[in-house]
């Protein structure tokens, strides 16, 4: 029987919970005061870590790629971001973001569309770009990294990557990710990626992947190497290998004009001692978090 337009009406009293029920069964996030899913996207340790690395979100103009259900957008807005442009190409996820924003009342601009052609035009710059859960859904992740680096001097990334040590043991990787590498050139660098196919996930109502039936997963070395070639210093945060989908990494990458790791550690022996003691992963991490604001010699 053909659907009637009357099926789009409700006779229930208005509430934010009722609005969320439009997408009942497809929510991933635990939305404050409402619930719905079990992913803590509105109080995410990854965003807290990135906030410490970038010097805080306060007063910054931020471009967010793929907000899903608005959890990270909410966190950055609550942390004082001056302007957030959040772009989502999945129509269902975009509407969820609007429902969440209406319920939680935070300042951000959500737009529906593909961020890739927008970035390729190179018409706007931002203080910070957040791409959480995005890069491993791209068919050309290197192009996205390059376009992001032209639009901002600071990039926050959380992504899965291809780990050859897990390829033969991780059940999902064995089914979805090809062990055969694809090699492309980025300047003088040989970049390695592996094809990832969504397969049965394309019919899952919680699907939150890319717009093509496949994507390309970079290796860890290729990811960090391309960022270096783009003139960025990368600091790595949480990195895990036991996720059901494979290894993932948290990265903050930024440009540090005139910075030299060796010189910084030589000029600041207390920092060198802290790095040796494991308090910081590198001198760059200390400089970004503390040294720059302290006026340390680089």
pLDDT in tens, 150-192: 999 999 999 999 999 999 899 999 999 999 999 999 999 999 9
- The structural domains of the chain, with segments of one domain joined by +, span 44-260, 261-298
Please tell me the number of Cα atoms within 13 Å of 159 on its side-chain side: 30
Minimal CA–CA distance to 246: which of 158, 181, 160, 135? 160
CA–CA distance from 144 to each of 69, 150, 227, 231, 273 (Å)? Answer: 22, 10, 11, 15, 37
**Residue 3: predicted pLDDT:** 82
- Sheet containing 233-240: give its strands across: 109-112, 83-88, 61-65, 128-132, 154-160, 248-254, 233-240
Q: Are 287 and 262 in contact (CB under 8 A)?
A: no
pLDDT at 289 over 90: no
Backbone angles phi, psi at 215, to 5 degrees: -145, 175
Whether CATH 3.30.420.40 fits 44-260: no
Minimal CA–CA distance to 285: which of 263, 258, 253? 253
Would you tell me how many other CB atoms lie within 10 Å of the CB of residue 285?
A: 22
The three-class DSSP label of residue 259 is coil
Express as a percent the part of the chain with pLDDT over 70: 100
What one-character DSSP code corresponds to residue 39?
B
pLDDT digits (tens, 9 = 90+) for 80-102: 999 999 999 999 999 999 999 99
Q: In this structure, is the dihedral angle defined by the CA atoms of residues 231, 110, 45 and 244, taken in order, positive or negative? A: negative
Q: Report CA 195 to chain centroid distance, whole Å.
A: 20
**Residue 298: predicted pLDDT:** 87
Q: How far apart are CA 236 and CA 101, in angstroms?
A: 31
Q: Are 49 and 250 in contact (CB under 8 A)?
A: yes
83-88 and 61-65 beta bridge pairing = parallel
Residue 79 exposed, middle or buried by CB count within 10 Å (0-12, 13-18, 19+): middle
**Residue 125: predicted pLDDT:** 96
Q: What confidence category does residue 50 fall into, taking pLDDT thresholds of 50, 70 and 90?
A: very high
Enumerate the H helices of 90-235 as residue ranges: 91-104, 115-121, 141-151, 164-167, 171-176, 220-229
Q: What is the mean pLDDT of the chain?
A: 95
The three-class DSSP label of residue 87 is strand
pLDDT digits (tens, 9 = 90+) for 213-266: 999 999 999 999 999 999 999 999 999 999 999 999 999 999 988 888 999 999
Minimal CA–CA distance to 64: which of 20, 119, 136? 119
Q: What is the mean pLDDT of residues 132-142?
A: 98
For 81-114, b where at least 16 C-beta lie within 10 A, e where not — what string? beebbbbbbbebbbbbbebbbebbebebebeeee
**Residue 234: predicted pLDDT:** 93
pLDDT at 1 over 70: no
**Residue 285: predicted pLDDT:** 86
**Residue 206: predicted pLDDT:** 85
In sequence order, which residues have a C-beta less than 8 Å from that of residue 47 and are 6 or more positions away? 72, 75, 76, 132
């Amino acid at each position: 029987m053909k659907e009637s337009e009357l099926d789009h009406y409700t006779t229930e009293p208005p509430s934010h919970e009722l609005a969320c029920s439009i997408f009942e069964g497809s929510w991933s996030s635990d939305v404050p005061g409402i619930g719905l899913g079990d992913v803590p996207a509105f109080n995410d340790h990854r965003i807290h870590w990135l906030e410490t690395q970038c010097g805080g979100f306060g007063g910054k103009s931020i471009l967010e790629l793929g907000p899903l259900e608005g959890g990270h957008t909410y966190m950055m807005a609550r942390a004082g971001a001056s302007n957030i442009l959040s772009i989502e190409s999945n129509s269902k996820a975009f509407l969820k973001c609007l429902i969440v924003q209406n319920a939680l009342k935070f300042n951000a601009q959500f737009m529906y569309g593909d961020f890739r052609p927008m970035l390729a035009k190179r018409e706007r710059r931002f203080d910070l770009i957040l791409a959480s859960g995005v890069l491993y859904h791209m068919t050309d992740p290197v192009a996205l990294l390059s376009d992001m680096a032209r639009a901002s001097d600071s990039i926050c990334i959380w992504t899965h990557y291809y780990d050859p040590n897990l390829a033969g043991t991780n059940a999902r990787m064995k089914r979805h990710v090809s062990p055969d590498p694809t090699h492309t050139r980025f300047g003088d660098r040989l970049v390695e990626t592996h094809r990832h196919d969504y397969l049965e996930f394309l019919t899952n109502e919680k699907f939150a992947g890319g717009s093509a039936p496949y994507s390309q997963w970079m290796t860890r070395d290729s990811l960090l190497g391309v960022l270096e070639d783009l003139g960025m210093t990368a600091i790595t945060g949480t990195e895990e290998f036991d996720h059901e989908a494979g290894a993932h990494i948290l990265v903050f990458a930024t440009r540090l004009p005139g910075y030299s790791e060796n010189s910084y550690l030589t000029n600041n022996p207390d920092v060198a001692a802290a790095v040796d003691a494991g308090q910081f992963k590198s001198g760059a991490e200390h400089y970004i978090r503390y040294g720059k604001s302290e006026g340390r010699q680089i």
